[in-house]
Amino acid sequence: MIKQVRIALRNCGRINPESIEEYINARGYEALILSLFEKKPEDVIKIITDSGLRGRGGGGFPTGLKWAAAAKEKSDEKFVICNADEGDPGAFMDRAVLEGDPFSVLEAMTIAGYCIGANKGIIYIRAEYPLAIERLKFAIEKAEEYGFLGKNILGSNFSFDIELKYGAGAFVCGEETALIKSIEGKRGEPVVKPPYPAQKGLWGKPTIVNNVETFANICPIIINGPEWFRKIGTQKSPGTKVFALAGKINKVGLIEIPMGTTLREVIYEIGGGIKNNKEFKAVQTGGPSGGCITKENIDTPIDYDNLLAIGSMMGSGGMIVMDEDDCMVNFAKFFLEFIIDESCGKCTPCRVGNKRLHELLEQITTGKAEDNIIPRIEMLCNTIKKASLCGLGQTSPNPVLSTLRYFRDEYEEHIKDKKCRSRVCKSLLRYQIVPEKCNGCTRCARNCPVQCISGKPKEPHVINQDECIKCGVCYTHCKFDAIIVS
Amino acid sequence: MKIKNVNEFYKLRDEIKKNMEKNKNIKVLIGFGTCGQAAGAKKVEEVIKKEISDKNLKNVELIRVGCVGYCYAEPTVEVVYPNGNSVILGHLTPENTPDVVEIHIMNKALESQYVIPRNFE
């Protein structure tokens, strides 16, 4: 059995998150003391760079390089921001870390501050995480009381404070430049990079923005050394990744696996297989910015570069498993709906393009699409990708493109045969009564909400297809299996 | 109490370690993240508390911890015995919790129908 390796989640569920003593007992603040009293900032940055740690928010940018870039800048003020604006549908990795081990994030932020020369840390957290906020507030208070935060930490000449900023739940504010705008009190809209936040970030000062899970990896790396970290995972993506495993899987849960684990191992060994022994169809990683991984790639080792190569992405760690009952066109449409809601509206290709794209998919799922619709979809997708400013827009067509890549036949079936093989797209369904099986009990006719079923008692009934709204009530009410769906 | 230098930190840590080693209680770690609470951890906790006082169990400590990741089996509880052994119990309900308390806290059994497999060290 494939075992998980817990680095970011090392303390989650093991220690009382509201006890600084238990955190200290679990080697808490060892890394901070090592950094502050035995190492220079550049030495600590070198450890992080050598470890090969990459941003766990999804982009995969080397954390050490980000820190080094900010450290290099000369400025009277610098900032460390922790991005806890976890927004991917179905993802809750960061929440688990913040609720289960808040001190580890505070400690890592303090170390980051020491490395780049910042005295101020900000945790940008979504207001929908009240318990995480409560525990963070408690942890900040405790850390200040013990002298792990505040002026002259542990008697050194380094001072560092952390405050919380609440996000209002806008997905785009997880993008670092939009996040910074939001903290400044402006509209959460992305701006052009460069200059990167490491040069000009919050209030125009050098700023690093790291994800919660990235910070959760920092202390173990400093304590155990970069070689230890490099032994876990793959060469280009060392370490582990936390995934929120959801969807049609037996053991839904939060898992932390070494990079390089295959999807097959995740689904069948850790996840306990597909629900009700159905057949595996695909996994969506990277949320609305990612793509799907199908059966043919089920043995691909999971890391940043491999996932990109097969048309998906690591993302922040949502992993939604789909089985034969899921319709891929409908699935792509679901993510587009999310994007339409969450687009900030700054760039036309994203704001209008995704809306149009959604309309095209709607045509497919309702059987109204023209035969040449796929090339139009592809063109629109590519335009949105190329002409949007930020990551949200650039990646928004990914679910459509990736389902088109792997499930083109399913799209064509919808378009040409007006058929949905998973029986999800209701408009394409046809309910029919098999005369040989119908004994005329009238149950379907009595329950039909639009009264489109006719027939005399004790004689076979008929559904009027023009009036049928495909609600399925007759199908569930029939006790003689006389109604079939096609 | 503010720690003013590294020596004070090490002194505090030694003290904490000593206290923890002295502590020979059975620890009942109850998953109390948002997920655990949504699944009903609070009611389960109440039943455990009541059982502990009704049965007059000594040396049992109830600790709220974060999410362990076994979402499919929430609410979950991990019982850690003084010798370091532990079991993870899942699918708890207010109804089956008294049974769980008897099997795993009073009788310290390492196996039962409530035990779920541990998938990490």
Q: Do residues A24 and A179 lie in contact, with contact meaning Cβ atoms separated by under 8 Å?
A: no
> What is the SS3 assignment for chain A?
CCCECCCCCCCCCCCCCCCHHHHHHCCCCHHHHHHHHHCCHHHHHHHHHHHCCECCCCCCCEHHHHHHHHHHCCCCCCEEEEEECCCCCCCCHHHHHHHHCHHHHHHHHHHHHHHHCCCEEEEEEECCCHHHHHHHHHHHHHHHHHCCCECCHHHCCCCEEEEEEEECCCHHHHCHHHHHHHHCCCCCCCCCCCCCCCCCCHHHCCEEEEEHHHHHHHHHHHHHCHHHHHCCECCCCECEEEEEEEECECCCEEEEEECCCEHHHHHHHHCCCEHHHCCEEEEEECHHHCEEEEHHHCCCECCHHHHHHCCCCCCCCEEEEEECCCCHHHHHHHHHHHHHHHCCCCCHHHHCHHHHHHHHHHHHHCCCCCCCHHHHHHHHHHHHHHHCCCHHHHHCCHHHHHHHHHCHHHHHHHHHCCCCCCCCCHHHCCEEECCCCCCCCCHHHHHCCCCCEECCCCCCCEECCCCCCCCCHHHHHCCCCCEEEC
Are A369 and A399 members of one domain?
yes
Helix (H, G, I), strand (E, B) or coil at B40: coil
* pLDDT(B10) > 80: yes
- Using CB atoms, pick whichever of A9, A37, A147 lies closest to residue B3: A147
Record: contact A18-B33, CB cut-off 8 A: no
Interchain contact B12–A (C-beta under 8 A): yes
Residue from A109, A123, A112, A125 nearest A169 by CA: A125
Interchain contact A100–B (C-beta under 8 A): yes
Helix (H, G, I), strand (E, B) or coil at B87: strand
pLDDT category of residue A101 using cuts at 50, 70 and 90? very high
Record: contact B2-A146, CB cut-off 8 A: yes
pLDDT category of residue B14 using cuts at 50, 70 and 90? very high
Q: Which residues pair with B86 in a beta bridge?
A: B80
Are A318 and A413 members of one domain?
no
A300 vs A290: CA distance, rounded Å:
16
pLDDT category of residue A427 using cuts at 50, 70 and 90? confident
pLDDT at A486 (0 to 100) = 78
pLDDT at B91 (0 to 100) = 95
Q: Which residues of B16-37 are buried (b: 16+ CB within 10 A; e: fewer)?
A: beeeeeeeeebbbbbbbbbbbb
Size of interface A-B (CB pairs under 8 A): 109
Please compute the mean of the pLDDT values over residues A437-453 and round it to a whole number: 92
Domain contains A312: yes
pLDDT at A470 (0 to 100) = 87
Are A318 and A269 members of one domain?
yes
Record: contact B16-A95, CB cut-off 8 A: no
Record: contact A13-B69, CB cut-off 8 A: yes
Q: Which residues pair with B30 in a beta bridge?
A: B64, B77
Interchain contact A256–B (C-beta under 8 A): yes
Record: contact A21-B16, CB cut-off 8 A: yes
Q: Which two tokens stand for residue A77?
A: 């003020």
Please compute the mean of the pLDDT values over residues A256-284 and round it to a whole number: 93
End position of a domain, from candidates A367, A382, A417: A417
Record: contact A131-B35, CB cut-off 8 A: no
Are A53 and A189 members of one domain?
yes
Residue A412 sits in a domain whose CATH number is: 1.20.1440.230
Are A179 and A293 members of one domain?
no
pLDDT at B121 (0 to 100) = 62
Distance from the B95 Cα atom to the nearest Cα atom in chain A, whole angstroms: 23
Interchain contact B65–A (C-beta under 8 A): yes
Are A303 and A402 members of one domain?
no
pLDDT at A88 (0 to 100) = 86
- Using CB atoms, pick whichever of A15, A24, A154 lies closest to residue B6: A154
Distance from the A54 Cα atom to the nearest Cα atom in chain B, whole angstroms: 23
pLDDT at B115 (0 to 100) = 94
pLDDT category of residue A42 using cuts at 50, 70 and 90? very high
Domain contains A2: no
Instruction: Write out the residue range of the structural domain in which residue A363 sits.
Output: 328-417
Interchain contact A6–B (C-beta under 8 A): yes
pLDDT category of residue A1 using cuts at 50, 70 and 90? low
* pLDDT(A2) > 80: no
| Sheet hosting strand A318-323, strand order edge to edge | A253-258, A240-247, A318-323, A280-285, A291-294
Interchain contact B16–A (C-beta under 8 A): yes
A146 vs B2: CA distance, rounded Å:
4
- Using CB atoms, pick whichever of A14, A154, A251 lies closest to residue B9: A154
Helix (H, G, I), strand (E, B) or coil at B86: strand
A349 vs A32: CA distance, rounded Å:
46
A78 vs A117: CA distance, rounded Å:
7
Record: contact A99-B78, CB cut-off 8 A: no
A478 vs A471: CA distance, rounded Å:
14
pLDDT at A241 (0 to 100) = 95
The 10 Å Cβ neighbour count of residue A486 is 9
- Using CB atoms, pick whichever of B4, B31, B34 lies closest to residue A13: B31
- Using CB atoms, pick whichever of B5, B34, B72 lies closest to residue A252: B72
pLDDT at B118 (0 to 100) = 83
Encode pLDDT of B27-75 as tens digits: 999 999 998 999 999 999 999 999 999 999 989 999 999 988 898 999 9
Distance from the B73 Cα atom to the nearest Cα atom in chain A, whole angstroms: 8
| Structural domain total, chain A | 4
The DSSP element (H or E) to which B62 belongs, if any, is strand B60-65
pLDDT category of residue B1 using cuts at 50, 70 and 90? confident
Global pTM?
A: 0.90
- Looking at per-residue pLDDT, the higher value among A288 and A31 belongs to A31
Residue A289 sits in a domain whose CATH number is: 3.10.20.600
Among A118-122, A246-250, A262-266, the range of highest mean pLDDT: A118-122
Domain contains A15: no
Predicted ipTM of the assembly: 0.93
* pLDDT(B119) > 80: no
- Using CB atoms, pick whichever of B33, B71, B72 lies closest to residue A100: B33
Q: Do residues B15 and B3 lie in contact, with contact meaning Cβ atoms separated by under 8 Å?
A: no
Query: What are the two backbone dihedrals, phi and then psi, of residue B88, each rounded to the nearest 5 degrees?
Result: -110, 130
Interchain contact B22–A (C-beta under 8 A): no
* CA A428 from centroid of its chain's CA atoms: 31
Q: Which residues of A touch B34 (CB under 8 A)?
A: 92, 95, 99, 129, 131-132
Domain contains A36: yes
CA-nearest residue to A17 within chain B is B65
CA-nearest residue to B66 within chain A is A100
End position of a domain, from candidates A323, A339, A364: A323
Interface test with A, best of B30, B65, B78 (most A CBs within 10 A): B65
- Using CB atoms, pick whichever of B37, B71, B78 lies closest to residue A253: B71
Are A178 and A272 members of one domain?
no
Are A476 and A437 members of one domain?
yes
Percent of chain A with pLDDT over 90: 86
Domain contains A4: no
Burial environment of residue A138 by CB neighbours within 10 A (0 to 12, 13 to 18, 19 or more): middle
Q: Which residues of B touch A23 (CB under 8 A)?
A: none
A297 vs A284: CA distance, rounded Å:
12
B33 vs B44: CA distance, rounded Å:
14
Encode pLDDT of B67-105 as tens digits: 888 989 999 999 999 998 999 999 999 999 999 999 999
Q: Do residues A403 and A191 lie in contact, with contact meaning Cβ atoms separated by under 8 Å?
A: no
Record: contact A5-B120, CB cut-off 8 A: yes
Please compute the mean of the pLDDT values over residues B3-21 and round it to a whole number: 94
Average pLDDT over chain A, rounded to whole? 94
The DSSP element (H or E) to which B36 belongs, if any, is helix B34-39
Are A198 and A86 members of one domain?
yes
Specify the amino acid at residue B16: I
End position of a domain, from candidates A323, A341, A374: A323
Instruction: Identify the structural domains of chain B with CATH numbers, from first to last.
Output: 24-106 (3.40.30.10)
Q: Work out whether strand B77-80 and strand B26-31 pair parallel, antiparallel, or are unpaired.
A: antiparallel
Distance from the B111 Cα atom to the nearest Cα atom in chain A, whole angstroms: 20
Are A85 and A171 members of one domain?
yes
Are A351 and A223 members of one domain?
no
Record: contact B33-A95, CB cut-off 8 A: yes
Are A335 and A446 members of one domain?
no
Interchain contact B75–A (C-beta under 8 A): no
